[in-house]
Every structure is written in structure tokens, then in C-alpha cells.
Structure 1
Amino acid sequence: MQPDIEIYLLSCPTERIIRWLEQDFSVIDMHKPSDIVTKLHLEHNGEVIPVTILEKAAGKRFTSIWFDSDKTPWENDTECSKCAFEALECEVRCNYQGWQEDGQEDPDLWWHINAEGEGPFIWRL
């Protein structure tokens, strides 16, 4: 299991992302420290999960969702991406190799899911 989960959504409004999260999580609190950042504390199976939604995280069109916990319902970024794509029907990207202790992963190798399918690709942020 990864220590955290982070995915990137293409052209998906924060309000829509929050509605998706509310389907599987209870929102304990939410605040907007800036125009492009929304911070939440979600509850899932008795665990509190801090989440940061950052608009314009990768260029102007991608929004990052960072689950700062290993207590999410997903084993890794790819599982979360698949769930997000099914619910939101917008392109989703995540780190292909996930987090590894030895740090040998290629930082440019990503996984993407969109209407044409899914697979690995090179994304230079």
C-alpha cells in the first residue's frame, strides 16, 4: 500500500470532485485557504484522511487531488484513477510506478485514463 495517493484530473471543477468524494467519504471539514486550494478532512471506515485539492497543479487545466494517508480505499494511484474516471468521466493521470522506497522510478512515466482507453505515457510537467 502506498503512503499517500495523488491523481490529476483534466478540466474537472472542484465542486464536481467534492460531490464524487462525498459518495464514499464523509466530509468532516472543508476550507479554502486560497482561490485554487481546497483542504478537506474526510472520514472512511473510522479513519480521518486529509485531502488537498489544488487547481492549476500541472498547467492551467489539471487539478491535483492528494490524499495524505495510507487509509484510503485504494491500494495505489492507479486504482484511485480508475475509480475517479468511472465517476467523473474526465481524463485522469497518475504516477505510473507509484511511490517506492528506493527511489528508482522514472518521474516522467505516468498512467492516463480517458475515453480512448488507458495506459502508460511520458508526461513532462
Structure 2
Amino acid sequence: MQTDIEVYVLSCPTENIITWLEASFTLVKKSTSGPLCSKLTLLWQGNEVEVTILEQAAGKRFTSIWFDSDKTPWEDDITCAKQVFKALDCEVRCNFQGWEEEGNQDPDLWWRINHHGEGPFIWN
């Protein structure tokens, strides 16, 4: 189980992301901290999950969806990315190996899901 989950969606309006989250979780609180950042507190299986949606997180076209909790429905970033792609129908990218403090992973190796398929690629 990862300590948090983060995925990046390509050219997906924040309103669509929030609508999906509201349909998938119980919304406890929603706020904005600036024009590009939305923060939500969601409830899943009795646990509060803090979510930050940050537009233009990787270039102008990618939005980050960060679940700051180990209490999510997903085991890892890739499992989440698959559900996000299915729900939002836009390209999704996430870290290929998960993030570890002392790991030897390649920081440019990512997982991409789009209408052409899915698999690892170098994002730099």
C-alpha cells in the first residue's frame, strides 16, 4: 500500500475531476487556494482523504490529482490511473514504480494510459 496516490491528467477540466470524485466518494469539504488549486476532503470507508487538484502541475496542459492518504480504494498509482482514465476519458500519467525515499527508480520512467493503450514511457 502506498502512502499517497498521485496521477496527472491531460487537458481535463477540473470540474470534470471534481464531478467524478463527488460520484465516487462522499464529499466532506471543498475549497480553493488560488485560481489553479482546489482542495477536497473526501470520505471513503470511514476515512477522510485529503485531495489536492493542481492545474498546470506539469506544463500547461497537465493537472495533478494528489490523494494525500494511504486510505484510498487503490493499491498504487497505476491502479488509480486506470480508473481515472475509464472515468474521465483523458490521458493519464503516473509514476511507474511508486515513490520511495531511498529507492533506485528512474525519475523519468512513467506509466501512460490513453486511447492508444498503456505502458511505460520516459517523461522528461
TM norm structure 2: 0.98
Alignment of 1:1-125 (within 5 A): 1-124=1-124
CA distance in 2, matches of 1:23, 1:99: 28
What 5-or-longer segments of structure 1 have no aligned partner? Answer: none
- The Cα RMSD (Å) is 0.7
TM-score by length of 1: 0.97
Report sequence identity in percent.
63
SS in 2 for 1:106: coil
Q: Structure 2: give runs of 5+ residues left out of the alignment.
A: none
Give distance in 2, aligned partners of 1:26 and 1:19: 11
Q: Structure 1, residues 12-42: CA drift from partner, whole Å, max 9, x if none?
A: 0000001111122011001011000000100
Distance 1:52 1:70 in 2: 14
Shift of 1:101: 4.4
Count of residue correspondences:
124
